[in-house]
Amino acid sequence: MTYVPSRDLLAQALAGSSRAAGRLISRAEQGAEEARPTLAEVYRRAGRAHRIGLTGVPGSGKSTLVCRLAASLRAQGRRVGIVAIDPSSPYSGGAILGDRVRMTELANDPGVFIRSMATHGATGGMTHAALDAADILDAAGFDVIIIETVGVGQDEVEIAKAADTTIVVSAPGLGDEIQAIKAGILEIADIHVVSKCDRDDADRTITDLKQMLTLGALTALRDGQGRPLWTIPVIGLSSYTGQGIDELLAAIGRHGATLAATALGAQRRERVAAFRLAKTAETLLVERFRRAAQALALPLSQQLSRRDTDPYSAARSLIDQTIAKEFSP
């Protein structure tokens, strides 16, 4: 197959080619050096789409909710991009990509783009390529980008630094209340959703979440003068019956309008930019370190295997040698 330069793929993606957008996302995942000037151009062109981050513990119905949400947005005539992040296998490095299997009903809709990607060991529920993927879909004209994290439920809070609106999904009977307190998941939500609300114990979960928000004084975000900017809603819904979907869409719309009309939007953009800067710098630094350290690590690891040195001394030596080789002028 003839290699198509990334800048040409971008031109095709901007012209409406989902295939070109997918290939450009693949290059972002691979960390292709050739694609980076094009990804820089993509970033400058992006910024129009509403990015929705969605997280929650496994079994809470995140993927089913994404399907429902995307279908409802399509009924409004909006183009929807979905980036579903799945955990990587510790053995093969691949992912089951089960989210995409669950979204087959959307696969034939040209107004929906679905991309599953593995974490590749990234912590925090996000992978750097997910941010590039969202930019590509944004620049390609998608109105709403939904980013679904792996959602293990303990430390997947990075999505709040990468999305305009963060939705945390809980479900009755999964112990989500305790998880929220332990992991700080409670604090990152702009909207709380309790799925499977057709169950008998759903009302209790909704009540408990509202009480915890009140106790934590998190029900409203305020400006510098103490005026409320956004009150965090708790919405019960059922993805199977459709109950609560319209209420969720309305809450997302209100939050987007609040971001556009108040200081909250500027604060959120600055937070997202700071996160993006740190995440990109971290990625570039690790890549550069690994390249330089590859040739230096073998003799140190051999000394370590013979116990002629200790892990801390060897690691410090590796860092010092790598910095001297790669980063010195």
- pLDDT digit string, tens, across residues 240-280: 888 899 999 999 999 999 999 988 898 889 999 999 999 88
- What's the sign of the alpha-carbon dihedral 77, 81, 87, 89? positive
pLDDT at 121: 53
pTM (predicted TM-score): 0.86
pLDDT digits (tens, 9 = 90+) for 51-104: 999 988 777 888 889 999 999 999 999 999 999 887 654 444 444 454 555 566
DSSP string, 102-164: HTGGGTT-TTEEEEEEE-TT-STT--HHHHHHHHHHHHTT-SEEEEE----SSS--GGGGT-S
Label the pairing between strands 228-231 and 144-148.
unpaired
Residue 108 amino acid letter: N
From residue 30, give the alpha-carbon distance in Å to each of 45, 52, 87, 266.
22, 24, 17, 32
pLDDT at 74: 95
Question: 97 Cβ partners below 8 Å, 6+ apart?
Answer: 84, 86, 116, 118
Label the pairing between strands 165-170 and 50-56.
parallel
Q: Which of 173, 193, 161 is nearest to 56 (CA)?
A: 193
Least confident of 33-47, 119-133, 254-268, 272-286: 119-133
The whole-chain average pLDDT of the chain stands at 84
Q: Which of 98, 217, 106, 228 is nearest to 151 (CA)?
A: 98
Instruction: State in Å, rounded, how far the first CA of the chain is from the last one.
Output: 40
Q: Are 188 and 164 in contact (CB under 8 A)?
A: no
pLDDT at 204: 84
**Residue 225 CB neighbour total at 10 angstroms:** 5
Residue 255 amino acid letter: H
Q: Which of 247, 235, 272 is nearest to 53 (CA)?
A: 272
The proportion of the chain whose per-residue pLDDT surpasses 90, expressed as a percent, equals 47
Report residue 225 as tokens.
Answer: 């003068």
Q: Which of 112, 91, 92, 90 is nearest to 103 (CA)?
A: 112
User: Predicted confidence band at 35 (pLDDT cuts at 50, 70, 90)?
Assistant: very high
Say yes or no to pLDDT of 221 above 70.
Answer: no
Total number of residues shown for the chain: 329
Q: Which of 79, 84, 82 is nearest to 143 (CA)?
A: 79
Say yes or no to pLDDT of 124 above 70.
Answer: no
